[in-house]
Amino acid sequence: MKTKLTLYLEKAVIEGLKAHAKQLGISLSQYIQREYKELSQSKVEEPLPKYFKKMQFDDNIHSEVDWKKERAEYLDKKHG
The domain of 71 spans 11-79
pLDDT for the residue numbered 45 = 63
Q: How far lies 58's CA from each of 8, 10, 43, in Å?
A: 23, 17, 29
Contact indicator for 26, 36 with CB cutoff of 8 Å: no
Domain count, the chain: 1
Residue 69 lies inside a defined structural domain of this protein: yes
CA 15 to chain centroid, in Å, comes to 14
CA 42 to chain centroid, in Å, comes to 13
Residue 4 lies inside a defined structural domain of this protein: no
Q: What is the pLDDT of residues 48-61, one digit of tens each?
A: 666 666 666 555 55
Residue 32 lies inside a defined structural domain of this protein: yes
> What pTM, to 2 d.p., does this model score?
0.48
Residue 6 lies inside a defined structural domain of this protein: no
